[in-house]
A = this chain, B = another copy of it.
Amino acid sequence: MNDQNKPPSTADFQEVKDYLQSLQRAICNGMEQTDGAAKFQDDAWSREQGGGGLTRVLRGGQVFEQAGVAFSHIHGPELPKPATVARPELAGCSFQAMGVSLVIHPQNPWVPTSHMNVRLFVAEAQDKQPIWWFGGGYDLTPFYPNLEDIQHWHRTAKAACDPFGDEVYPEYKDYCDRYFYLRHRKETRGVGGLFFDDLNSWPFATCFNFMRSVGDSYLKAYLPIVEQRKNREFDNRQKEFQRYRRGRYVEFNLLYDRGTLFGLQSDGRTESILMSMPPSVSWKYNWQPQPDTEEAMLYRCLKPRDWLNAAAI
């Protein structure tokens, strides 16, 4: 990919696919090491209409109650209907979509939940150059937030973006705050991170490098936080608060998350899509935290904030 204006080739797409598969391996290895007990169970699947994936799930670990890391590469002769609503010019195009998506639900409520996704979408009409775009990002969802953790998370996100321009981190940090927002709760999902979509304003190779930079930085952003908090003692009240807040995760994913809704509407593999669901969840009618409790602290974090320059939660 020396000539940056050349349209991407089959070999370029294959290179992205190779990267995604190696990213999945690296992330699962890192998670297993940090967990120290449980191993991922692998589920390879294929799809009648074309393509398939490898869903890897670790359950009941020492550190992770559930960690799901999915790779998929699906293709087909015609874009699924939900994908062409916003882009009617692509109706009838053949397509391929590949990505890695993960959600980590830790045992310990002092450890935040995290999510990461990187993906490439390609639409091809006969005798035309392929239309492609990258998307992805990661966001952190603490239960008992810690400013040091949040700043480490955002510093790592910023470092992944900075080689691509000073405006990149602020732009995708803002997009993340807007995307992971529960309108019916007037809450962000957590303390954010990065979110990008429809990225094709740079040459293909640069976009791919950016996606790689985001993907490669995820473990560096998350695992130090896990290591820092995983041995802190917790009690039932804190576990119960974690289960309660996981309800918001469910609400976001089923009400708003584009990947989840697109997957379910286009007859994706339900179990791989819903591996993001938390292993144990609770809802409590009209629950509110008592003022000045550790639980109340979280609610000060559930709006867009300039975390890198925050002096306190």
A residues whose Cβ falls under 8 Å from a Cβ of B:
43, 55, 57, 59, 66, 68, 183-185, 243, 247, 250-251, 254-255, 261, 264, 267, 270-271, 273-275, 277-286
Contacts and interface: CB of A to CB of B under 8 A. Distances in A.
Given A184-B270, A185-B270, A270-B184, A282 B285 contact: no
A9 to B, nearest CB: 35
Contacts of A275: 285
B271 A286 contact: yes
Contacts of A282: 279-281
A280 B184 CA distance: 21
A285 B255 contact: no
A288 B41 CA distance: 16
The interface centre, meaning the residue of A66, A255, A277, A285 with most chain B CB atoms within 10 A of its CB, is A285
Contacts of A273: 184
Contacts of A251: 254, 274
A183 B264 CA distance: 9
A59 B284 CA distance: 9
A250 B57 CA distance: 22
Contact of A250 (B59, B250, B284): B250
Given A250-B250, A280-B280, A184 B264 contact: yes
A271 B254 contact: no
Nearest to A251: B254
A58 to B, nearest CB: 10
A254 B251 CA distance: 7
Given A264-B184, A280-B280, A285 B57 contact: yes
Contacts of A247: 277
The interface centre, meaning the residue of A243, A251, A267, A286 with most chain B CB atoms within 10 A of its CB, is A286
A286 B251 CA distance: 20
B281 A280 contact: yes
Contacts of A285: 55, 57, 59, 66, 68, 271, 275
Nearest to A260: B255
Nearest to A186: B270
Nearest to A240: B280
Contacts of A274: 251, 283
A102 B184 CA distance: 20
A184 B267 CA distance: 7
A286 to B, nearest CB: 4
A24 to B, nearest CB: 16
A59 B285 CA distance: 9
Contacts of A43: 286
A188 to B, nearest CB: 15
Contacts of A271: 285-286
Nearest to A280: B282
A183 B265 CA distance: 9
